[in-house]
């Protein structure tokens, strides 16, 4: 599943050494899932996610293991984690960005309280997701609409495990109806907990999986480290990603891990929002002083319309009417850069262009070149740092210290 978003405030960069584990990390794979219908559908899902974001107004303690890792799978357009709920394993999209939740009362009467959130965990898009013998119904209802699909159902709590760690009473949304999901069972939410406010009919907020790990003492700091990697050749299902819970994995990056302050005001501050100093193409500045969100659940990289237009002008490209992607008859040769604070993170043409080996997957035309960079709009949250950027840079989501980190992927 795919999506998008972002907005304002200054980012402060600091260099930091990786968190050290006092216990051996457990490494399990992350699966990448290719639920591709068409590349245009992928682009539009990103746009729908941006629209959803802009609709938003602003257990007993256990031995701390410090850091634990689980493998996730790259399915070309999203990353999927094998999450065990009540003894059954579901393939859930790893999402730090947002889903568009429309709250309903216990009487199922829609209210005006609508929230775009990726903090809830839910299942049942492909097969029944019902509480096990260890589960307990809360009596709450939840309904989600995110532009390109939806789900509605009830809430229960149950035992949830991933990466060698377990939460005994995790909030789960059980979908009775769902649309827009192909080949995946739901969402594994890693957005800020504030986004869960109003998403369940009889609760204010619901703790995330990471919140619960911290509160029960399984991890000592609320940090998520994310390692994504591009697909190899024409592959569309590689277990080449990793989520590290409670810290970072220094084997997944090289050089310095640099942190930037999470936004504290503006629409994007509700998410993993970050201030952007500039976008560049080679030596040309495409735009300055933007804000956005970092979102593992969005496939493409979305930038403000002004920056996107400048990018097309600089590269001799245009927006392809069929795929919705930026398309070029001559291959771009310069690097694309995003600057946070005083640090610029660049993507080479090989990194920001769709690999020709994947053209058949997306129905693209040979002899042309297509970019993962797209138009995020001219107002509201219009920048999303999505999967195709994150496949080249290790990213860290530090709730404890309210910051986001990046380092060059190993």
CB-count exposure of residue 350 (10 Å: 0-12, 13-18, 19+): exposed
- Give, as one character, the DSSP assignment of residue 353: B
Question: Residue 294 has which token pair?
Answer: 């970092």
Buried b or exposed e, range 223-256, using 16+ CB within 10 angstroms:
bbbbbbbbbeeebbbbbbbbbbbbbbbbebbeee
Region class of 180: left (phi > 0), else alpha (psi between -120 and 50), else beta: left
- Indicate if 91 belongs to the active site: no
User: Taking the CB of residue 274, how many other CB atoms lie within 10 A of it?
Assistant: 29
Burial class of 258 by CB neighbour count within 10 A (0 to 12, 13 to 18, 19+):
buried
The whole-angstrom distance between residue 28's C-alpha and the CA centroid of its chain comes to: 19
Buried b (16+ CB within 10 A) or exposed e, 161-193: bbbbbbbebbbbbbbeebebbebbbbbbbbbbb
Catalytic-role residue among 295, 320, 375, 398: 295
Residue position matching structure tokens 């304002």: 8
Could you tell me the CA-to-CA distances from 46 to 16, 196, 391 in Å, in that order? 32, 21, 17
Counting Cα atoms < 13 Å in the Cβ hemisphere of 340 gives 29
Residues 76, 95, 249, 375: which is the catalytic one?
A: 95
As given in the structure block, the two tokens for residue 115 are 């929230």
Q: How far apart (Å, rounded) are the C-alpha atoms in residues 326 and 383?
A: 16
Q: 95 an active-site residue?
A: yes
- DSSP code of residue 315: H
Q: State the CB neighbour count (10 A cutoff) for residue 73.
A: 22
DSSP 274: E
Q: Measuring CA to CA, which residue among 272, 278, 312, 267 is closest to residue 293?
A: 272
Return the active site residues.
Answer: 95, 295
């Amino acid at each position: 599943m795919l999506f998008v978003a972002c907005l304002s405030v200054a980012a402060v960069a600091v260099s930091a050494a990786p968190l050290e584990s006092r216990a051996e990390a457990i490494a399990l794979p992350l699966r990448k899932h290719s639920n591709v219908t068409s590349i245009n559908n992928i682009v539009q899902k990103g746009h729908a996610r941006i629209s959803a974001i802009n609709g938003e107004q602003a257990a007993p303690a256990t031995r701390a293991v410090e850091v634990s890792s689980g493998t996730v799978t790259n399915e070309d357009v999203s990353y999927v984690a094998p999450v065990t709920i009540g003894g059954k394993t579901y393939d859930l999209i790893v999402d730090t960005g947002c889903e568009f939740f429309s709250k309903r009362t216990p009487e199922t009467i829609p209210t005006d309280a609508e929230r775009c959130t990726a903090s809830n965990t839910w299942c049942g898009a492909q097969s029944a997701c019902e509480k096990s013998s260890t589960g307990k119904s809360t009596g709450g209802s939840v309904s989600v609409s995110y532009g390109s699909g939806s789900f509605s159902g009830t809430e229960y709590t149950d035992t949830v495990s991933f990466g060698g760690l377990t939460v005994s009473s995790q909030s789960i949304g059980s979908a009775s109806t769902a649309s827009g999901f192909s080949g995946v069972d739901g969402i594994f939410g890693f957005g800020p907990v504030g986004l869960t406010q109003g998403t369940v009919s009889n609760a204010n907020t619901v703790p995330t999986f990471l919140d619960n790990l911290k509160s029960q003492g399984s991890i000592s700091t609320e940090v998520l480290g994310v390692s994504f990697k591009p697909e190899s050749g024409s592959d569309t299902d590689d277990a080449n990603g990793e989520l590290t819970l409670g810290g970072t994995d220094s084997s997944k990056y090289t050089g310095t891990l640099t942190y930037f302050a999470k936004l504290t005001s503006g629409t994007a501050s509700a998410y993993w929002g970050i201030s952007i100093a500039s976008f560049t193409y080679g030596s040309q500045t495409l735009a300055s002083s933007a804000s956005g969100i970092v979102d593992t659940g969005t496939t493409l990289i979305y930038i403000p319309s002004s920056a996107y237009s400048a990018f097309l002008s600089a590269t001799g490209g245009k927006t392809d009417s069929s795929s919705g992607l930026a398309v070029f008859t001559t291959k771009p040769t310069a690097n694309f850069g995003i600057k946070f604070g005083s640090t610029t993170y660049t993507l080479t043409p090989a990194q920001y262009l769709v690999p020709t080996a994947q053209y058949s997957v997306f129905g693209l035309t040979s002899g042309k070149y297509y970019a993962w960079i797209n138009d995020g709009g001219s107002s509201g949250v219009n920048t999303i740092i999505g999967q195709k950027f994150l496949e080249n840079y290790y990213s860290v989501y530090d709730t404890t210290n309210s910051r986001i980190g990046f380092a060059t992927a190993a």
